[in-house]
Structures are given as structure tokens and as C-alpha cells.
Structure 1
Amino acid sequence: MRVVGWSLVLVPLVLALVGPWFVPDEPTRGAPFAGNSSLGTDFVGRDVWHQVLAGGRTVVLVAVVATALSYLLGVPWGVTAAMTRLRVVDEVLMRPLDLLLAVPSLLVLILVAAIAGPGLPVLVGVVALVNFPDVARISRAAALEVAGRPALEAMRLQGETWWRTSIVYPGRSMVRTLAADSGVRLTGALYLVASASFLGVGVAPDAADWAVMVDRNRVGLFLQPWAVVVPALLIVALSVGLNLVFDRALRTGART
């Protein structure tokens, strides 16, 4: 299972990071949905294989950066809410997040698509914003269990610094919980980036992007299926592989 997981991750990851170097600066165009190359041509006559090589970097990098940003914002937010001794502070920090969670992520994407123009910073911000409330709630739940431990109270009575009692000690205890969540969170970010591409948020409608390829080429699915099947399989393989790798790492860590 470990080999399967890493294989599913490495194939799309290598294509996403290295593939753009092997794409011609000015790709030739032929007839749409033709079969005159290895994987045929797409809806505007571009070589599908070249589009596959060039189309993964945006999906992968945006998902990784947005997920990292959601943790950079959500973990301190949740830990602060859990470690405070004032209930009013906890309520002020967490109740607005409940409102954000009540709004479907696709609705957020549609609103952003209507208000803001395409742009990768906008896409990163939207994906991070959608994931931020969940990360903050999970971090708070993990930190609450730590906050009630006698060991933490003993550290406070011994005069340990705020950094050790509120950051270092809770952080060490939350690592496994956050690691387990990060695989699922990154998978969700990948699918959210793909959904955003369908709505025109972040990338141009004719950009070399795996998610855009799935959306724009679906009209010719029965004429040229590779233009849809290959990028879709790469996105699914990366998502499934990431969860297999994270699950394997967590099981290995539990035995050591």
C-alpha cells in the first residue's frame, strides 16, 4: 500500500512540477478533438499531452499554498480560543466562524467569481478562507483536551513562560491531530481549486490547467476522451495518494 500511495502522488506531482519545462513556447494548433497526436487535440486544437504537462502546476501550487495559509491562520486562532481563560474571548473568536461554516463553499466561489476578476491570489485567498474555519475549530478541539491536563496546570504553577504553556506544549500534543487533518484538507483544497476553475475564478478559461481541461473538453468527451480522462485521473490520483501516504505515516508513527 505504501508503494501504491507514493506512486499515485509522485506521478502527478512530477508532471506538475517538471512538465512545464518540456512544453514548447508556441504550441502548434490543429483541428479540435482530432486524434493526430499521442493523446489527440483539445477543444481549440492544442496537443493534449502538452496541455497535461503544462496544466498541473497551478492546481498543485494553489492547493498547497492555500492549505498552508489556512493552517497559518487557523491554528493560532483555535489555540488562542482554547487556551484563554475568558469564555467571552472564546465566544468572540469562534462564533463568527460558525457563520462562515454555514455558507457553502461553492456559493463563496460563485460570489467571488461575480465580484472579483480571475487571478491566482484571489483563488488562493478563497480556498484559504473556506478552509480556515474548519482548521480553527479542529485546532481548538485539540487544544481544549490539552488545556485541561494537570501537567499544563503544574507548568503554570512552576512559573513556566507563556510560550511554553500556550505554544510549545499544546503544539507537541496537536501534531498528530493536525497531521491527520492535513491530508483531508489538502484533498479538499485540490477539489475546490478544480471547482473554482470551472467557475472561472483564478485562471483564464483557455489556460493550460488540469481542471480547466476537464471543464472545457467535456463537450467532446466522446470524440476525444483523453482530453478529459487524463487530467481528471491525475487530480484523483494525487488526492487519493496523499491520503494513503498520510494514513501510512500516521500508522507508522503510532507504532514507534
Structure 2
Amino acid sequence: MKNFTLKSIFTVLALLLAVTSYSQDRTCGMMEYMEEMLKDPVFAKEYEENQKKFKAEVARRLSTDFNARGGATIQIPVAVHFTTGNPADRACLEALAQNQIDILNADYTATNADLSIWNTQSGQYFPGLNPGAANITFCLATSNHPAAVPQLVEGEPAVTIGYNFANGSGFPEFDANFQGYMNFVVKPIGQLLGYSPLGGSVANGGAVILNTNAFGSGSGCPTSGIVPGAPY
């Protein structure tokens, strides 16, 4: 289930994170992190090469794969990692992970409850554009889990609790155990909403990092310190 065809979905998720904050002290940190990382000439060269590959692959898929599939939906397997969660709170955290998946799927099919915001603003900022389904769907992976992570059970959702993703290596965060997954790492990151390296790849186990107050909706899982905060 974790095999994946669209290797640059991280670019899409990174763009989703690149939104304007509704308050002055809570912002998306993606651009700041990218600016810092691009100071490394090795990373900058790799990034440029990956961007070229990504653009070429998008062009190829638009001209061949999509038509060949008859517009079939691409399914993206997700693994969610609560690095500071309480293992006894697993049922709540798994439900919260599914809640975030449901939110993504609603966004990608233009069925989200706050679509009226787009309808109100699109005429001014995006004239002539209308929302529609992206033929992309997300799901919590339930099979082919890495043997190196014993807390994951085949048939159960790919949700880790207390797992030290990427051994705490910092940005950009890659974990070879989770190659082939779309990884969400939920952990405290100060006032940032989240970030992800632009042009990242599921092939190397990369991740989107999200703050504990910017994941899911509703009451969250207070005993694990994962509580969504308005308006995120």
C-alpha cells in the first residue's frame, strides 16, 4: 500500500503550508527554512536538479499517464508521527490522524466546509479560476510497515507515538525507515505552523513538519499535548 507514484507530492504539501498567517506571531516557516538551506551549495545544487526533474515529470504525466489512466485517482499512503505523544493515548491520536486525512481529502476535492472563503476571494485574487477535484486522495497506510519500527502492526494505521523520526536530525528531516510514505511529523516547533523542503521526495523518507497546534481539528488529544488552535 505504501508504494507511490507521484514522487514530488511534497511540493504540493509545501505549497499548502505556504499560506499567510492570520496572526502576527504564528507563521509558516517554510520559506525561512528554505532560504537557510539554500545557503548550502550542495543542497542548492540538489534542489535545482530535483526541480528540473519534477517539472519534466509533471509534463510527462500530464501528456501520458493521466490520459492512460483515464483520469484515475492517485492514492497517497500517509504515515503520521507524534514525536511527543502519549502511547496510552493511541486511540485518540489515530483518530486525530484520520481527521487530518479527512481534511486533506476534502481540500483536494473542493468539498471542504470553508470553501466559501475561496468563492469570496477568488474573484479578486484568482479571476477566472474555479475549484475542482484534483484526483488525489490521501489514506493512512495500513500495510508494508517497516520492520524496524515494532510499534507498527500490519493492518493497523501507520501512526507512531514517541518515535524519534530521523533521529532528531533537524531540517531537512529524512528517515530511511519510512521511504515510500507521505510522512507527517507532529511536534512542538515554537510559533511556526510547519514547514517542508520544497521539492522533497517520498523516495528518501522525507517529511512535512507540523506544529502540535496546527494538526487536525476539534478538541485534539489534550493528554498528549496535541490540541488544534484556532484558526488553524
Q: Same fold (TM over 0.5)?
A: no
TM range (shorter): under 0.3
Greater fraction helix: 1
TM-score w.r.t. the length of structure 1 is: 0.24
TM-score w.r.t. the length of structure 2 is: 0.25
